[in-house]
Each structure stands twice: as C-alpha cells, then as structure tokens.
Amino acid sequence: MSDSQTVKAAIFDVDGTMVDSMYVWEKVDCDFLTQRGIPVTSEYSETMRGMFFEQAAQYTIDHYGLNESVEQIVSIWLDMARHEYENNVKAKPQLREYLDELKSKGIRLGIATSSDPYLLEPVLSSNHLNSYFDKICYTSQVGRGKSFPDIYLYTARQLGVHPQNCVVFEDIPEGISGANKAGMKTVAVYDKASQQHEQTLKQQAHKYIFGFSEVLGEDLWKETDLPIFSSASSSQP
C-alpha cells in the first residue's frame, strides 16, 4: 500500500463525538431564554448549530430584540456551560480505550473543535483526555466554521500530516462535509442530538458508527474503503 493511502493521524471533534455534551447547549438555550420569558423553539436551536459564539449571540439579539451586548451574552452562556462541562459531561463509552489503541499504532491525534478553551480544558481534564492529543485546534483560529475545510487542513498542518493521511471523527453533517472537502477520510459518530441527520451522515461519511465499541479491537478499515493505519515507523511529511 502506498504511503499516500495510509492513515497517520486521527482528528476528533469534541462535542457530540467524544463527549456526551450536546444536551448542555439545549439546557443553556432553555435556561437563558426562559429566564427572559422567551419560548424555546427547535428552529432556534437548529439555527444556532455550528455558529461561532459571537455569531450566535448577535443572532439571538437580533431575533429576540434583546438589550444585552454580544459580549455579555457570550459570557453568560460560557459560565452556564462551564458548570456542566466541569461537573456533569462525560466521555462516550470506550473512547479512552480506542484512543489508547490508536496511540499504540503510532497514530497522531488532534482535536478540531468549534468549542471554546474555557469549556474544552475542564472537560478534557475531568475525563482524563488531555494526554492523548498532540494538537488542539479551534475554528476561531481559522475564522470559518466546520462546513469549510479550513479547520481540518489547519489541524493536519499542526500535526505535520498530509490531509490524505488523516481520518476525521465527527457527529454533524457540517463537520463531515468540511472534512471531505479537505480530502480526508471521515467517520460519522452517532449522537442523539444529530440522529435526525443519520441518513445524511451515512451518505456523506466513509463510515458510520453508533459507538467506539464498534471499532475497538477491530480493523475498521477492512470493513470500508478506508485505508489501514500506517505503522509508527511510517515517515511523516
């Protein structure tokens, strides 16, 4: 198998992919709007998906005619969410075992997230995930969301791995689409919050899994047209 066909890096989304956290934003939306006497709608929650915090805050101000500033709303949201991330958000079952397996194969591991360091750091720490990842990258560093390839290409560069040698784990269609545009292999991970997009994810991604138990101890790549992992001794670009 040629070097260009081997996978040398795995890039993971966090919310909904590695940790069961998508309920946090539903809770924040509900609590924030309810405190202001505003009914929560599914349309609002869906519109907010994938937005930067500042974009979401401005949309909320414009949509509901709020007097608070973007900065005030973002600060309120982050404080509400951080409490959940620090105390209640847990890693998905057998994630750590799977990361151990990837590390044992010499795969470089990266995070590509739309989250904020204020939230990400405590949830990684509380779930003992910090030590697994070689690089953590944020969409705020590239200026565009996950429907674009920028964050995935940036993460690959930070890992020192060519895009065609990367596989991306995501739970939303925007993420799978952006990673596909980056020329990477993609694995869609089931999450309750995105189950309505299951068929789209199955069509877009190279592989769809309901949990990491499906791939733990298995040669995932033989079951799909994804290439097998390279060995730890494979050369880096």
Residue 220 is predicted with a pLDDT of 54
Burial of 233 (0-12, 13-18, 19+ CB in 10 A): exposed
Residue 22 is predicted with a pLDDT of 83
User: Do 100 and 212 reside in the same domain of the chain?
Assistant: yes
Banded model confidence at residue 33, pLDDT cuts 50, 70, 90: very high
Domain end point (choices 46, 64, 87):
87
User: Do 39 and 74 reside in the same domain of the chain?
Assistant: yes
> Could you give the number of structural domains in the chain?
2
Residue 231 is predicted with a pLDDT of 39
Residue 53 is predicted with a pLDDT of 82
Domain end point (choices 36, 66, 87):
87
Coil, strand or helix at 185: strand
User: Do 96 and 210 reside in the same domain of the chain?
Assistant: yes
The model's pTM: 0.82
User: Do 111 and 148 reside in the same domain of the chain?
Assistant: yes
Note whether residue 53 is domain-resident.
Answer: yes
Q: What is the 3-state secondary structure (H, E, C) of 118-168?
A: HHHHHHHHHCCCHHHCCEEEEHHHCCCCCCCCHHHHHHHHHHCCCHHHEEE
| 179: CB partners within 8 A, 6+ apart | 11, 149, 152, 168, 170, 186
pLDDT tens sequence across 166-180: 999 999 999 999 999
User: Do 194 and 144 reside in the same domain of the chain?
Assistant: yes
User: Do 126 and 95 reside in the same domain of the chain?
Assistant: yes
pLDDT at 219 over 70: no
Residue 42 is predicted with a pLDDT of 83
pLDDT tens sequence across 72-89: 999 999 999 999 999 999
CATH number at residue 63: 1.10.150
User: Do 14 and 120 reside in the same domain of the chain?
Assistant: yes
Instruction: Of 19-28, 147-156, 228-237, give the lowest mean pLDDT range.
Output: 228-237
List 15's β-bridge partners, or say none. 19
User: Do 182 and 76 reside in the same domain of the chain?
Assistant: no
| 106: CB partners within 8 A, 6+ apart | 8, 229, 230, 231, 232, 233, 234
Banded model confidence at residue 153, pLDDT cuts 50, 70, 90: very high
Range of the domain at 141: 3-21+90-223
User: Do 44 and 132 reside in the same domain of the chain?
Assistant: no
- Candidates 98, 94, 120; CA nearest to 109 is 98
Q: If you average pLDDT over residues 52-76, what whole number do you get?
A: 94
